[in-house]
A and B are shown apart, each in its own frame.
Chain A
Amino acid sequence: MTSHAESPSLFDCLKPCWLGLSTDNRRLFDVLQDGWLRPLRAGSGLLVGVGAYAREKDTVQIGRIPVRIKLNVAKLPDLEVAVFRRGEWMRSTLQQAGTSDMALLAWPGVLPTFAISELTVSTEEERARLIGLARHFSNIKIPEVPIVVRVGDDEVRMPAIAPPETVYKLAIPPDEDAIHGAMNMAFWAVPRIDPWLAVLTESLSSDRTRLPELADGVDASWWQFPPWVQFSSETKPADLQECLWLAAIKVFRAHPSGHRVRARELVSEITNAALRYDSSASDKTAAWLQSTHRILRAESTIEFDRWRSCPVGMAIQLVLTRPEPAAFKTWFKDRPDLPPAVAWSAAVLCGLYNGYKRLDTEFRGEPLQREVVAIRTLGACSETLRDIRWPGHVDDKPSWRKVDSDFVLSWDGIDFARKQVRERGQWYAANFEDMGIRREAGTVAKKLGWPCLTREITLTDARVPFSGWGDVSVYKRGNPKLIVRGKSHFQLPADAEVEEVVNIGSFRRLIATEFGRVPAPPAPQIPDKSDEPAGIPGLRYVLNFLSEGEEMEIMKEIDKGAWSEELQRRVQHYGWRYDYKARQVDPAMRLGPLPPWADSVARRLVERGLVPNLPDQVIVNEYVGNQGIAPHVDSKSSFEDGIAMVSLLESWEMVFRERRDKRKQNQKLERRSAAIINGEARYLWTHEIPRRKTEPSVESDRKKPSRVRRERKRRISLTFRKVIDDRES
Chain B
Amino acid sequence: MRLPTWEELASVEEQLNVLECPLDQSLFVVGPPGSGKTVLAVRRAQMVAEAQPDVLVVTYNRMLRRLVALMIDGSIEAQTMQRFVWYDYYDRIGEWPPCDTRDSFAYIWPTMMARMKRGQIRPNRPHLVVDEGQDLPPEFFEYASRYVARTMTVFADEDQALKRECTTLEQIKQATGLDDPAMLSQNHRNTPEVSRLAEHFHSGRLPAAAVHRPTSGELPRLIWSENIKSTMTTISNWYQNTGGSIGIIIDRNNMGQALRDGLTHRLPGVRVDIYTHNQQNEDTINVLKDGITVVNKGSAKGLEFATVFIVELDQFVPCTNDMERRAMYMMCTRARDNLFLVYGPGDLTTMAVAALPGTDVLERP
Q: Is B171 an interface residue (CB 8 A)?
A: no
Q: B residues within 8 A CB of A577?
A: none
Give, as a whole number of angstroms, the nearest-CB distance from B321 to chain A: 33
Q: Is the CB of B241 within 8 A of A63?
A: no
Instruction: Tell whether, in the assembled complex, residue B244 and residue A327 are in contact, meaning their CB atoms are under 8 Å apart.
Output: yes
Complex alpha-carbon distance, A133 and B23, angstroms:
11
| B216 part of interface (Cβ distance < 8 Å) | yes
Asked if A258 is an interface residue, CB under 8 A from chain B, the answer is yes
Contact pick for A125, options B19, B23, B214, B241, CB 8 Å? B23
Is the CB–CB distance between B242 and A321 below 8 Å?
Answer: yes
Encode B229-263 as 1/0 by CB contact (under 8 A) with A: 00000110110111110000000000000000000
The answer to whether B20 has its CB under 8 Å from any CB of chain A is yes
Residues on A with C-beta less than 8 A from B240 are: 301-302, 334
Chain A residues positioned under 8 Å from B238 (CB to CB)? 298
Does B170 sit at the interface, judged by CB under 8 A? Answer: no
CB-defined contacts of A262 to chain B, threshold 8 Å: 216-218
Could you say which residues of chain A place their CB within 8 Å of the CB of B19? 133, 136
Tell me if B162 is interfacial: C-beta within 8 Å of chain A: no
A132 touches B214 (CB 8 A): no
- Whether B360 is near chain A, meaning CB under 8 Å from some CB there, is no
* B242–A125 CB distance below 8 A: no
**A128 close to B (CB within 8 Å):** yes
In the docked arrangement, what's the CA distance between A30 and B5, Å?
A: 11
Determine the residue in chain A with the shortest Cβ distance to B340: A298
Interface segment, B6-14, B92-100, B102-110, B275-283? Answer: B6-14
Contact B47 A129 (CB under 8 A): yes
Bound form: Cα–Cα A679–B50 in Å: 63
Contact in complex: B20, A133 (CB < 8 Å)? yes
B residues in contact with A334, CB < 8 Å: 240, 243
Contact residue among B23, B217, B242 (Cβ-Cβ distance under 8 Å from A129): B23
One of A137-145, A448-456, A701-709 contacting the partner: A137-145
**A327 engages B243 (CB within 8 Å):** yes
In the complex, are the beta carbons of A139 and B6 less than 8 A apart?
A: yes
Does A65 sit at the interface, judged by CB under 8 A? Answer: yes
A313 to B146, CA, bound (A): 64
> Which residues in A have their C-beta under 8 angstroms from that of B216?
260, 262
Q: Separation in Å of the B11 CB from the closest CB of chain A?
A: 10
In Å, the complex CA distance between A140 and B19 comes to: 15
A260 engages B214 (CB within 8 Å) = yes
B43 contacts the other chain (Cβ, under 8 Å)?
Answer: yes
Say yes or no for A432: interface residue by CB 8 A criterion: no
Do the beta carbons of B22 and A330 come within 8 Å of each other?
no
What residues of chain B lie closer than 8 Å to A140, measured between beta carbons? Answer: 6
| Cβ-defined contact, B3 with A138, below 8 A | yes
Interface residue? B82 (CB, 8 A): no
| B46: interface (CB < 8 Å) | yes
With a CB–CB cut-off of 8 A, which chain B residues contact A591?
none
Contact between A259 and B6, CB atoms less than 8 A apart: no
Question: A32 — which chain B residues lie within 8 A by C-beta?
Answer: 6
**Is the CB–CB distance between A357 and B22 below 8 Å?**
no
List the B residue with the shortest CB-CB distance to A325.
B5
Q: Are B50 and A128 in contact (CB under 8 A)?
A: yes
A170 shortest CB reach to chain B, Å: 22
Given A138-B4, A140-B6, A302-B241 contact (CB < 8 Å): yes
Which of B17, B51, B241 is close to A298, meaning CB atoms less than 8 Å apart?
B241
Q: Known contacts A129-B47, A139-B7: does B215 contact A259 (CB below 8 Å)?
A: yes
Contact A26 B5 (CB under 8 A): no
Closest A-chain residue to B20, C-beta based?
A: A63
Cβ of B307 to closest chain A Cβ, rounded Å: 10
Q: Which of B7, B19, B235, B290 has the most A CB atoms < 10 Å from its CB?
A: B7
Residue of B nearest to A64 (CB): B20
In the complex, A686→B3 CA distance in Å?
Answer: 63
Within 8 A of B (CB), among A550-609: none
Cβ contact within 8 Å between A132 and B47: yes
CA distance A302 to B23 in the complex (A): 48
A137 touches B9 (CB 8 A): yes
A18 within 8 A of B: no
Check: A299 CB closer than 8 A to any chain B CB. yes
Does B205 interact with chain A (Cβ within 8 Å)?
Answer: no
Q: Who on chain A is nearest to B219 by CB?
A: A262
Known: A26-B16, A301-B241, A330-B290. A357 touches B215 (CB 8 A): no
Q: Who on chain B is nearest to A132 by CB?
A: B47
**Are the CB atoms of A129 and B7 closer together than 8 Å?**
no
CB of A691 closer than 8 Å to a CB of B: no
Q: Mark A269-312, 1 if CB is under 8 A from B, else 0.
A: 00000000000000000000000000110111110000000000
Asked if B24 and A125 sit within 8 Å, CB to CB, the answer is yes
Q: How far is the CB of A503 from chain B (nearest CB, A)?
A: 33
Q: A133-B47, A138-B4 are in contact. Are A298 and B20 (CB under 8 A)?
A: no
* Closest CB in chain B relative to A41 CB, distance in Å: 18
Task: Looking at the assembled complex, report how far the CB atom of A25 sits from the nearest CB atom of chain B, in whole angstroms.
Answer: 7
Q: Which listed residue (B24, B46, B217, B290) contacts A260, Cβ 8 A?
A: B217
Q: How far is the CB of B309 from chain A (nearest CB, A)?
A: 10
Q: Quick one: given A29-B10, A33-B5, A327-B244, are A135 and B46 in contact (CB under 8 Å)?
A: yes
Task: Name B5's closest neighbour in chain A (CB-CB).
Answer: A139
**If the complex has contacts A133-B47, A298-B241, A301-B241, are A358 and B20 also in contact, measured as CB distance less than 8 A?**
no
- B118 adjacent to chain A (CB < 8 Å): no
A147 interface residue, CB < 8 Å from B?
Answer: no
A171 in the interface, Cβ–Cβ < 8 Å? Answer: no
Q: Is A322 within 8 A of B242, CB to CB?
A: yes
Tell me if A188 counts as interface (CB < 8 A to partner B): no
Within 8 A of A (CB), among B179-226: 214-218
- Whose C-beta in chain A lies nearest to the C-beta of B42? A136
A474 CB–B CB distance under 8 Å: no
Is the beta-carbon distance between B7 and A128 smaller than 8 angstroms?
no
- A25 contacts across to B, CB distance below 8 A: 20
Chain B residues whose C-beta falls within 8 Å of the C-beta of A331 in the assembled complex: 243
Cβ of B2 under 8 Å from chain A: yes
**Is the pair B20, A125 in contact by a Cβ cutoff of 8 Å?**
no
Within the complex, the shortest CB–CB distance from B261 to chain A, in Å, comes to 20
With a CB–CB cut-off of 8 A, which chain B residues contact A301?
Answer: 237, 240-241
Complex alpha-carbon distance, A358 and B7, angstroms: 8
Assuming the contacts A63-B21, A129-B47, A259-B215, asked whether A295 and B5 have C-beta atoms less than 8 A apart, the reply is no
Chain B residues closer than 8 Å to A65, beta-carbon distance: 20
A679 to chain B, nearest CB (A): 40
* Chain B positions within 8 Å of A259 at CB level: 214-215
Q: Mark A235-279, 1 if CB is under 8 A from B, else 0.
A: 000000000000000000000001111110100000000000000
Question: Looking across the interface, which residue of chain B has its beta carbon closest to that of A133?
Answer: B19
Nearest CB in chain A: distance from B52 CB, A: 9
A128 touches B47 (CB 8 A): yes
Determine the residue in chain A with the shortest Cβ distance to B193. Answer: A262
| CB closest residue in chain B, given A32 | B6
Could you say which residues of chain A place their CB within 8 Å of the CB of B235?
298
Identify which of residues 18-48 in chain B touch chain A, using a CB-to-CB cut-off of 8 Å: 19-24, 43, 46-47
Residues of chain A contacted by B47 (CB below 8 angstroms): 128-129, 132-133
- If A33-B5, A299-B237, A357-B7 touch, whether A129 touches B20 (CB-CB below 8 Å) is yes
Known contacts A132-B50, A133-B47, A258-B214; A33 and B243 CB within 8 A of each other: no
Is the beta-carbon distance between B20 and A136 smaller than 8 angstroms?
A: no
CB pair B215–A63 under 8 Å, yes or no, is no
Give the chain A neighbours of B46 by CB distance below 8 A: 132, 135
Q: How far is the CB of B228 from chain A (nearest CB, A)?
A: 16
Question: Do A136 and B4 touch (CB < 8 A)?
Answer: yes
What is the distance, in angstroms, from A322's C-beta to the closest C-beta of chain B? Answer: 6
Contacts A129-B47, A135-B46, A358-B7 known; 18 new A-B pairs at CB < 8 A: A63-B21, A124-B51, A125-B22, A125-B23, A128-B50, A132-B50, A133-B19, A133-B47, A136-B43, A137-B3, A137-B4, A138-B2, A139-B7, A258-B7, A260-B216, A298-B234, A301-B240, A357-B7
Jot down 9 A-B pairs with beta carbons below 8 A, ordered by A.
A30-B6, A63-B22, A65-B20, A128-B50, A136-B4, A137-B4, A139-B6, A260-B217, A261-B217
Query: What 10 A-B pairs come out closest when comparing CB atoms?
Result: A262-B217, A132-B47, A138-B3, A298-B238, A298-B237, A63-B20, A321-B241, A330-B243, A137-B6, A301-B240
